[in-house]
A and B are shown apart, each in its own frame.
Chain A
Amino acid sequence: DAGVIQSPRHEVTEMGQEVTLRCKPISGHDYLFWYRQTMMRGLELLIYFNNNVPIDDSGMPEDRFSAKMPNASFSTLKIQPSEPRDSAVYFCASSLGLGDTQYFGPGTRLTVL
């Protein structure tokens, strides 16, 4: 398996634009997580899915953020409209179970100007 795949690796956009980050988890993993890495809060869990169903989205900072998982092999994290304070590295991870080892993608570095 190629591991968790994220795209794009880098995204530069202007304030107010819509941004969509994509993730393909490892086949057979039932859990998918979206994280944001910041200096102040480290790895911040935004939302996680179990069998394509969102279980906990309490980490999503505000309504501008939304995430979907239409099938077991694809998830998106959307920010609309984007703001400069959204600039960060966003990671997607997947695992067999909630407490099991999570396998992370390489991350998407988002810069909002």
Chain B
Amino acid sequence: DQQVKQNSPSLSVQEGRISILNCDYTNSMFDYFLWYKKYPAEGPTFLISISSIKDKNEDGRFTVFLNKSAKHLSLHIVPSQPGDSAVYFCAASGGNQFYFGTGTSLTVIP
């Protein structure tokens, strides 16, 4: 049973526009959420995180939004750049549990 879901396996966006990547979770015990970015032939690297006590966290072009009632989080990238093309994984943790989503492959078209 997937406790963290990324329902869009892929997304294409024009350079300069906004990229919105979505993630849903099922376990209300999760209290910390992270996004990782993965380039081909490399391991994932940490991008941005958010605690359940917040509903927004911003770091440069990257903003993560958390809607606890909907058990939904999203990553916004503005403006999108070709170098942002990668697979993005969301992750959730709480208690002794930690789960990654299945990933969304983002392609930013120059």
Of A13-21, A42-50, A66-74, A79-87, the one with at least 4 CB within 8 A of chain B = A42-50
Over the window 70-81 of chain B, the binary record of Cβ atoms lying under 8 Å from chain A Cβ atoms (1 yes, 0 no) is 000000000000
- In this complex, the interface size class of chain A, counting residues with CB under 8 Å from chain B, is 20 to 34
Please state if A4 and B100 are interface contacts (CB–CB under 8 Å). Answer: no
Interface size class of B (residues with CB under 8 A): 20 to 34
Establish whether residues B98 and A104, one from each chain, have CB atoms under 8 Å apart when the complex forms.
no
Q: Is the interface of A mostly helix, strand, loop or mixed?
A: strand
Q: Say yes or no: A43 contacts B98, CB within 8 Å.
A: no
What is the interface of chain B, defined by CB distance below 8 A to chain A? 2, 6, 31-32, 34, 36, 41-46, 49, 89, 93-94, 96-103
Q: Can you list 22 pairs linking A and B with CB atoms under 8 Å apart?
A: A4-B43, A42-B6, A43-B89, A43-B100, A43-B102, A43-B103, A45-B98, A45-B99, A55-B96, A91-B43, A93-B43, A98-B98, A99-B94, A102-B44, A103-B46, A104-B43, A104-B45, A105-B43, A106-B41, A106-B42, A106-B43, A107-B41
